[in-house]
């Protein structure tokens, strides 16, 4: 009765099932592995001392920025230079601008420093003159997927849509660090800008997306197998009905 499984049409169906089920299982296992990796990273981060418990170290000792150094307190010495506003950024639920000032460090490279946050339209205080030593939370350069980044073009002069070396490379003559810091204590009357959590360093929405995708791929595998059994059963029943003469007459 099941010799129909060897027909060309069913060969195509069988090959699809044989390939689809392992593929779905592989993708589900891969997504589960990514979720477990994020859980392990979260547990490891919880065992690490909090940034407040760590001492301030020179900036160079924390570079390049990674999951372990992001958020660490860093110290740099230099002279403030050009200043920019980073518009449409939220702090404590209020919209405003980051005040970003470039610090030309003793090593000759330029470090973007977010000195604080001001309400939209409020004036940004000028940076201190002369050599200064700043302390702030180390942050990785932003990218197009970072929350709050202004992706549309046409910003006025003196504004930046994204805090990164790439966005500053054509605005300053010096080399720019592929990192930035936000001061632990904002200058003047500005509000402090809290440090952002490093991407992939905890049980964020991406971790639970991995878990959800795991379930979806396993469901797909089960669905393919279910549909194959259902099609086989219907074909076998149709053949049996024809053999018994139960097939309805065609009009």
**Whether residues 108 and 212 fall in one domain:** no
**Whether residues 176 and 210 fall in one domain:** no
Q: According to the model, what pLDDT value does residue 197 have?
A: 67
Tens-digit pLDDT profile for residues 216-233: 999 999 999 999 999 888
Q: According to the model, what pLDDT value does residue 204 have?
A: 65
Q: According to the model, what pLDDT value does residue 146 have?
A: 77
In a domain, 56, yes or no: no
Which is more confident, 51 or 21? Answer: 21
In a domain, 23, yes or no: yes
Report residue 16's pLDDT band, with 50, 70 and 90 as the boundaries.
Answer: very high
Report residue 203's pLDDT band, with 50, 70 and 90 as the boundaries.
Answer: low
In a domain, 16, yes or no: yes
Tens-digit pLDDT profile for residues 112-152: 999 999 998 889 889 999 999 999 999 999 888 777 777 65
Instruction: State the residue range of the domain holding 26.
Output: 2-43+204-244
CA dist., res. 70 & res. 51, Å (int) = 9
Report residue 196's pLDDT band, with 50, 70 and 90 as the boundaries.
Answer: confident
**Whether residues 210 and 172 fall in one domain:** no
182 and 136 in contact (C-beta within 8 Å)? yes
Of 163, 57, 169, the closest CA to residue 109 belongs to 169
In a domain, 193, yes or no: no
**Whether residues 78 and 162 fall in one domain:** yes
Report residue 251's pLDDT band, with 50, 70 and 90 as the boundaries.
Answer: very low
Average pLDDT taken over every residue of the chain? 85
Which is more confident, 237 or 99? Answer: 99
In a domain, 250, yes or no: no
Q: Is the pLDDT of residue 250 over 60?
A: no
Q: Is the pLDDT of residue 249 over 70?
A: no
Q: According to the model, what pLDDT value does residue 136 have?
A: 93
**Whether residues 87 and 161 fall in one domain:** yes
**Whether residues 94 and 6 fall in one domain:** no
Residue that finishes a domain, picked among 133, 153, 183:
183
Residue-by-residue DSSP string for 28-81 = HHHHHHHHHHHHHHHHHHHHSPPGGGSPPEEGGGGPSP-TTTTT-EEEEEEEEE
Task: Tell me the CA distances in angstroms from 7 to 3, 12, 177, 232, 251, one per residue in order.
Answer: 8, 9, 65, 12, 28
In a domain, 55, yes or no: no
> DSSP class of residue 4?
G
113 and 180 in contact (C-beta within 8 Å)? yes
The total number of structural domains in the chain stands at 2
In a domain, 64, yes or no: no
In a domain, 26, yes or no: yes
**What average pLDDT does this structure show over 168-196?**
88
The pLDDT > 90 percentage for the chain reads: 43
């Amino acid at each position: 009765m099941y010799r129909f499984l060897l027909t060309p049409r069913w060969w195509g169906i069988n090959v699809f099932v044989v390939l689809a089920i392992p593929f779905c299982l592989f993708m589900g296992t891969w997504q589960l592995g990514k979720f477990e990796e994020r859980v392990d990273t979260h547990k490891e981060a919880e065992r690490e001392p909090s940034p407040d418990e760590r001492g301030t170290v020179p900036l160079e000792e924390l570079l390049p920025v990674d999951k372990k150094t992001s958020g660490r307190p860093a110290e740099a010495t230099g002279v403030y230079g050009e200043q920019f506003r980073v518009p449409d950024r939220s702090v404590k639920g209020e919209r405003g601008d980051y005040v970003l000032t470039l610090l030309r460090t003793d090593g000759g490279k330029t470090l973007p420093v977010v000195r604080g946050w001001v309400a939209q339209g409020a004036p940004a205080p000028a940076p201190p003159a002369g050599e200064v030593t700043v302390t702030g939370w180390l942050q990785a350069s932003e990218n197009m997927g970072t929350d709050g980044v202004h992706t549309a073009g046409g910003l006025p002069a003196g504004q930046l849509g994204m805090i990164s070396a790439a966005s500053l490379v054509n605005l300053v003559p010096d080399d720019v660090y592929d990192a930035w810091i936000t001061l632990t204590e904002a200058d003047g009357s500005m509000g402090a800008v809290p440090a952002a959590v490093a991407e992939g360093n905890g049980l964020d929405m991406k971790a639970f997306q991995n878990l959800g995708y795991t379930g979806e791929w396993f469901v797909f595998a089960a669905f393919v197998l279910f549909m194959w059994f259902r099609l086989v059963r219907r074909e076998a029943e149709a053949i049996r009905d024809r053999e018994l003469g139960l097939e309805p007459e065609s009009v």
